[in-house]
A and B are shown apart, each in its own frame.
Chain A
Amino acid sequence: MEEVVKMGLEKWVQRQLQADFPNSALEQRLAKYETLRMSNAQIVQTFPKQGQVLKMAIREGLIDKDAVRKDAADKISKQEYQAKLESYMQQKGFKPQRILYQEMVNQKILRATYSENQLQEILTSFWFNHFNVSLTNKNCDLYLTSYERDVIRPNALGKFETLLLATAKSPAMLTYLDNFKSTSSNADLTPAQKQRQERQIQLLERRQEQDNTMQQMQVAEKVRRAKKAQGLNENYAREIMELHTLGVDGGYTQQDVTQAAHIMTGWTINPAIDGYRLDNAPAAINNPKRTEALQKQGFVQEGDFLFAANRHDKGRKEVLGTTFPPQGGYEEGLQLIKLLAHHPSTAKFISTKLATRFVSDTPPRSLIDKMAKTFTEKDGDIREVLMTMVAAPEFWSKEALREKTKSPFELAISSVRSLNAEVHEPRHLATWITKMGEKIYSYQAPTGFPDKGTYWINTGSLLNRMNFGLALASQKIKGISFDLVALNQNREPESAEAALITYSQFLMPERNLEATIKRLTPSLNDPEFGFKVNAAAHKNQAVAQKEPQEQEEQMMLDQPKKRDAEKNTSVANTTFHQKGGNSPMLAQIVGIIIGSPEFQRR
């Protein structure tokens, strides 16, 4: 906020749109997460599925098949075999997939909490959700790190067409919506090619019988899957129109979907990164001579993306009244993406979604029209569309104010940010975010999380929001620490009422909180309130002693000075002098503020 005042609002928005604020504090926090710097190929190699590891370990003779069988009946041998499996993984440099998942979720929380380029992070979340892929899908899960890092974030404030194309070529989207296996029903293999393929399969099978190494297993898997029937998959073609560009009422037909699917045949993953994991992976091109030959046939390889010309439908297509002549190859896919990115329905659909994200669950038509106009005139420039939105009077109108309900993620992040909290170990916060109804990166459907209050707020989730406020404020959420009194320049509030007023302003600056304060004041002044809270605090003290390990963790996190202060505070005097200056009474008040209806609104 201070920053905003110093710079002037317009300039701040401009800078945010450039997303070039230095971010060294954040970078430092992210440095320990190795997976964030890994390529798709490295991730695939490091995080094999557990079943795969077991298979390998058995084949390499490290684990006896019968040992696995015994586990069913007898626990000791199960532990033994788990240990064996773990040491095998270590020896091979494999890691369990949950580490990858956890690092992804952790970095998202850290970025949201500490990034100086907030708008870029918000837009990254927005586009990720718009082009949703999911950790629940075990074909695409390993590619999500790169998807967010290389596909979404760099393009979040750029041209829509660039972003759309980047998602279309990303392994995450290609697998999540099945385009990687979509093949023309009339893919034209020459008889010579077919024969070659047949020979190759035979050769591989023979080798497989002789040799049981991991590499051969991968090959065998490839062979098995190569033999499976192939065909057209319309999934991506449908969603690119319905969800990514035109919108469900955007004026396309089933015929358009099928035709677009034909255009996109052959858009797949470079099998060099992980062909063995996937159904119907094409042959890898890693031999330079072969690469040249394939390029002549129309293959295109760009990083993890491959256009496999031999799977592409070479016929004539027509989508939304535009004709794509035969032999269009890779280029016609690019043309289709351009066509969709610049369609008037897309301008309207994207503008509506952005306005829904930033203004209201039901944004005014006039605002959408303005944004869509900019979208069309400025070549789908997302920055320009956002500038139009911010400049519009509708954005600043009274109706738009506090109209949106915070998502669980926004609630959690806004809480730790306004408490100036230190997030040491973000996964505990993630657990609460899940509890409140938003499992990060795990919305299963391609629609992404619905962006509306009625989705987020129900009896179960609302109670969890209140409980989150109480747990956070009383420092019961592990991995997060803060100092409430420090927040108020080390001045203790004089009374519960003063605390309420002061901390409401910290947590919700620039809001009219009269009603909230008025409503709460009588019950805070009720001697019962203080009595109950303090009584509970004593009890808590007892509980704390029972959990030495947890206490120790906390001690290590606290600064020495604070620890001394704590020692000097008598237990009986539980007003505002407690651990880290955070008394139960103060914590209770802050918890109530965080769980209050006003704080649930944006």
Chain B
Amino acid sequence: MTTRRGFLKSGALALFAASLGGVPNFLAQATNSRKLMLPYKKNKILVCIFQRGAMDGLMAVTPFTDAHLQLARPSLFMTAAQSSSNPLLDLDGRFGLHPAMKSFEPLFREKRLAIVHGMGSPNPTRSHFDAQDFMETGTPFDKGTASGWLNRAVGLMGHEAATPFQAVSLTSSLPRSFYGDHSAIAISNLQDFGVQMRGNQKAAMAASKNFEDLYDQTSSSLLNKTGKESFEAVKMLSKVGSRNYLPANNAVYPNSPLGNSLKQIAQMIKLDVGLEVAFAESGGWDTHYNQGTANGTFARNVNDLSQSITAFWTDLDAYQDDVNVMTMTEFGRTVHQNGSNGTDHGRGSCMFILGNEVNGGLVHGHVPPLAKENLEDGRDLPVTTDFRSIFSEVAGKHLNIQNEKVLFPNWNGQKIGVIR
């Protein structure tokens, strides 16, 4: 595997060297810094997917043997019984995966995919805004934290950003997770990365040359340096061709915002542009009305989520060893269904972690029998695993981050072993 990886890397580099008449500056730096890290430390990549709106963890991964849940959800409960028309995928005799996530099942069986259930924030807020803010800052009781946890993670990586693409969010504006002092960029579409004029490619090329000249000579060091990096980055992407991208292994990404984001993240990984932390979003999880069961809103959402991630994983091919995917959502939803066939804001939810070093094939965490006395505030799946426990373990082991006190201030550091 390592040999193949090494080959791919030098292959990409050689391609640049040939097409650009030299290796771009920042890429050369990247290679140098990697040389310093090699052979024991390789650049790892963490991909975070935020499911905004609060996913119903109890429907994604259902404790289907729990009669309390069945009672609480007369029209939303699903079973793993083979006699039913669209049964849950029985993971371990107790938890069943939503059938629309069937593409996750093989990954789970191969022990690369882990699920953590009862995950959430110690802060009991049920406001989307507050809970997302707390999860993204990583400080569940302090809204004032200026930086996001992923930005702090970038700062703790132990080496300088070698390229502008160290931390990239596939969103139109920078997410709260990326706020902070370390460089992080938001790109909504890789194809927009360049000097452009609609329907006017030649003029754009002329302008690009002019801009490059101007930024090359400006007296502002910030503009000069960033300008240089920008044009090198543009050349890099355009030479290898971000257009007409063909995923490996016939991977098919859903044509959805998340699918497109992950496809572009895969491109960046394969282009070896120095990506280490990537961020993408998935929306539509706030299912107060007619959540649906095997079909419907929720099913469409989980189908998109799992298909996008599976396509990404398939596409990554030889790069899988270096990549870890982690989903997150601000809280879960009520155990009882509400009056409009949906669920309201709750507490604990579940998350998915995918990677070759993941302690997979298990539903981690603790989900008690859902009798009223076991529920938080008598209504919600209790939070039994602090999200920081998972975030810090994944970031710590995968990205080799040592200083957890900076990553998650005031956190006790307890781990549950989701990474081997």
Contacts and interface: CB of A to CB of B under 8 A. Distances in A.
A51 B53 CA distance: 13
Nearest to A535: B202
B144 A242 contact: yes
B374 to A, nearest CB: 19
B72 interface: no
A117 interface: no
Nearest to A136: B129
B352 to A, nearest CB: 23
A217 B295 CA distance: 31
A72 B292 contact: yes
B203 interface: yes
Contacts of B210: 520, 523, 592
A243 B211 CA distance: 38
Contacts of B289: 54, 68
A457 B209 contact: no
A457 B128 contact: no
Given A138-B128, A532-B205, A597 B195 contact: no
B229 interface: yes
B173 A596 contact: no
A178 B129 CA distance: 12
Contacts of A243: 144
Which of B184, B188, B215: most chain A Cβ within 10 A? Answer: B215
Given A239-B144, A445-B146, A536 B179 contact: no
Interface string A440-475: 001011110000011001111111101100110010
B348 interface: no
Contacts of B243: none
A92 interface: no
B3 interface: no
A446 B174 contact: no
B197 A474 contact: yes
Given A58-B340, A519-B214, A462 B207 contact: no
Contacts of B341: 65, 69
Contacts of A69: 290, 292, 296, 341
B375 interface: no
B199 A519 contact: no
Contact of B202 (A72, A533, A601): A533
B214 A520 contact: yes
Contacts of A588: 203, 206-207
A528 interface: yes
Given A136-B129, A533-B202, A591 B227 contact: no
Nearest to B204: A470
Contact of A453 (B186, B188, B222): B222
Contacts of A540: 199-200
Given A139-B127, A596-B211, A601-B220, A462 B176 contact: no
B185 A536 contact: no
A178 B134 CA distance: 14
Contacts of B205: 532
B211 A137 contact: no
Contacts of A470: 195-197, 203-204, 207
B226 A596 contact: no
A529 B206 contact: yes
Nearest to B296: A72
Contact of A463 (B144, B176, B230): B230
Given A139-B129, A470-B195, A177 B213 contact: no
Interface string B106-135: 000000000000000000000111000100
Contact of B197 (A138, A439, A457, A476): A476
A437 B186 CA distance: 8
A203 interface: no
Contact of A536 (B144, B201, B224): B201
A211 B195 CA distance: 61
Nearest to A457: B226
A592 B207 contact: yes
Interface string B218-232: 111011101101100
B288 A533 contact: no
Contacts, number: 182
Contact of B226 (A239, A458, A592): A458
Given A458-B185, A467-B195, A597 B220 contact: yes
Nearest to B147: A445
Contact of B194 (A444, A463, A515, A592): A463
A462 B340 contact: no
A54 B341 CA distance: 13
B283 to A, nearest CB: 14
Interface residues of B, number: 68
Contacts of A55: 340
Contacts of A461: 185
B295 A73 contact: yes
Interface string B371-391: 000000000000000000000
Interface string B141-156: 0111110000000000
Given A463-B193, A471-B197, A72 B297 contact: yes
A516 B174 CA distance: 32
Nearest to A520: B210
A200 to B, nearest CB: 23
A516 B210 CA distance: 10
A523 B220 CA distance: 22
Contacts of A535: 202
B172 interface: yes
Nearest to B286: A51
Given A435-B172, A601-B220, A533 B146 contact: no
Nearest to A464: B192
A130 interface: no
A454 B222 contact: yes
Nearest to B75: A69
A401 to B, nearest CB: 11
Given A139-B127, A474-B197, A533-B206, A462 B290 contact: no
Nearest to A239: B144
A462 B230 contact: yes
A235 interface: yes
A235 B129 CA distance: 15
A252 to B, nearest CB: 13
A405 B205 CA distance: 26
A47 to B, nearest CB: 17
Nearest to B290: A69
A458 B183 contact: yes
A260 to B, nearest CB: 14
Nearest to A589: B210
Given A435-B172, A439-B173, A523-B213, A71 B290 contact: yes
B151 to A, nearest CB: 12
A600 interface: yes
A536 B201 CA distance: 7
A71 B227 CA distance: 49
A58 B133 CA distance: 32
Contacts of B200: 474, 536, 539-540
A266 interface: no
B295 A72 contact: yes
B176 A444 contact: yes
A282 interface: no
Given A463-B195, A536-B197, A540-B200, A446 B226 contact: no
A446 B129 CA distance: 13
Contact of A466 (B211, B213, B233, B292): B211
A597 B224 contact: yes
B338 to A, nearest CB: 10
28 contacts: A55-B340, A68-B290, A72-B297, A137-B129, A239-B143, A243-B144, A444-B179, A445-B145, A445-B146, A446-B144, A459-B230, A460-B193, A463-B193, A464-B192, A474-B197, A520-B210, A520-B214, A528-B206, A529-B206, A532-B205, A533-B203, A536-B201, A536-B202, A540-B200, A588-B206, A595-B207, A595-B211, A601-B220
Given A69-B296, A600-B220, 5 more contacts: A71-B290, A444-B179, A460-B193, A540-B199, A595-B207
- Minimum-distance CB pairs A-B, first 4: A72-B296, A597-B218, A459-B164, A536-B203
